[in-house]
Structure 1
Amino acid sequence: MTDQELVTRFNYPNGTLKNKLGITDAAELARREFQIVNENAIALLQHADKFPKIREIDQLNRVHRFLFDEVYDWAGEVRAYNLTKGDHFFQDFQTFREAASWINSLLNSANQNDRIAASAYAELLDNINEYHPFREGNGRSTKVFLQLLALQHRQYLNFPLHQDKMVAVFNQDGPIDYETLGQLLNVQELDQ
């Protein structure tokens, strides 16, 4: 799909993402999306015990759909085109099968333990962030997805309010330091 085809498919002429709400002002859409997605995230996490145990990355699609379905027609649909943000190219969609297989192996390994190490959450966060399967809302969906996984292991991820330090870890030269990134996630054990 060409860049122009992507723009035509997903954006109104003024650049605002096409949405179910019919909002054509980007700032207004951002406000409504923020409100809807946060309400849905709270609802999902409050009823986390009803969500199937996190075992595979495909469950991220359900999380994304739950969070964004009121806003976008394509909520929960994995992209079939390449995506960039600034100078960064996310996972090539043609390699999604291999990426999903790798992430599933990380999930399988994490699920072998009663408690998951902070560095394991960090490695999952990095790989899912690079996978980036959706047009929009990857970060928020990933955080809720990982929070569900944590809750299933009687843990809580306290993501930093400001992302500067996390972004710096992702943007450093060389491999990601999962120990440092894990410390920023601040894994907390929940009372049993």
Structure 2
Amino acid sequence: MTDQELATRFNYPNGTLKNKLGITDRKALAQREFRIVNENAVALLHHAGQFPKIREIDQLNRVHRFLFDDVYDWAGEVRDYNLTKGGHFFQDFQTFREAAQWINSLLAAANQADRIAPSAYAELLDNINEYHPFREGNGRSTKAFLQLLAMQHHQYLNFPLHQDQLVAVFNQDGPIDYQELGHLLDVQDLD
């Protein structure tokens, strides 16, 4: 799919993402989306006990839909095109099956433990970030997804207030040091 085809499919002529709210101003959409998605994230985590145990990456679709369904028609739908952001190419959509299998193996390993190590959360965070299955909202959905996983392991997972440190680790040359990335995450036992 060409950039122009993607723009036509997802954006109003001025570049604002098409949305259920009919908002055509980018700044106004960003503000409204921020409020709606954060309210939905709080509700999701408040009712985490009603969410099925995190076992596979496909459950990320449900999280994304829950967070973004009030805003976008395509909420929870996995992309069928390639995506770049800031010059970074995310997982080729044609290799999603293999990527999902790898992430599912990481989830299976994490679910073997009573408590998940910060480095294991870091490895999941990196792999899901690279997977990047949605047009928008990947980071927020991934964080909520991993927070649900943490809660199911009687843990609290918090991310740095400022994303600069995480982005710097993701953008460094060479392989990511999951121990280092894990130090940026706040993982605490709830009991």
Q: How do 1:74-93 and structure 2 match up within 5 A? A: 74-93=74-93
How far did 1:126 drift?
0.1
Q: How do 1:33-48 and structure 2 match up within 5 A? A: 33-48=33-48
Cα RMSD (Å) of the superposition? 0.5
| Separation in 1, partners of 2:74, 2:164 | 29
| Separation in 2, partners of 1:189, 1:174 | 32
Runs of 4+ in structure 1 off by over 2 angstroms are: none
Q: Provide the residue aligned with 1:185 in structure 2.
A: 185
Q: How do 1:11-22 and structure 2 match up within 5 A? A: 11-22=11-22
Q: Any stretches of 5+ residues in structure 1 without a counterpart? A: none
Q: Which moved more, 1:6-15 or 1:160-169?
A: 160-169
| Separation in 2, partners of 1:21, 1:165 | 33
How far did 1:26 drift?
0.4
Q: Any stretches of 5+ residues in structure 2 without a counterpart? A: none
Q: Which moved more, 1:38-47 or 1:157-166?
A: 157-166
Deviations along 1:74-102, whole A, 9 cap, x unmatched? 00000000000011000000000000000
Q: How many residues align?
A: 191
Deviations along 1:105-164, whole A, 9 cap, x unmatched? 000000001000000000000000000000000000000000000000000111000111
| Separation in 2, partners of 1:158, 1:59 | 20
| Separation in 2, partners of 1:94, 1:50 | 33
3-state SS of the aligned residue for 1:97?
helix
How far did 1:167 drift?
1.1
3-state SS of the aligned residue for 1:18?
coil
With the length of structure 1 as denominator, give the TM-score of the two structures. 0.99
Q: Which moved more, 1:99-108 or 1:161-170?
A: 161-170
Q: Percent identity?
A: 85
3-state SS of the aligned residue for 2:160?
coil
| Separation in 1, partners of 2:131, 2:158 | 22
Q: How do 1:20-169 and structure 2 match up within 5 A? A: 20-169=20-169
| Separation in 2, partners of 1:182, 1:46 | 25
| Separation in 2, partners of 1:71, 1:158 | 25
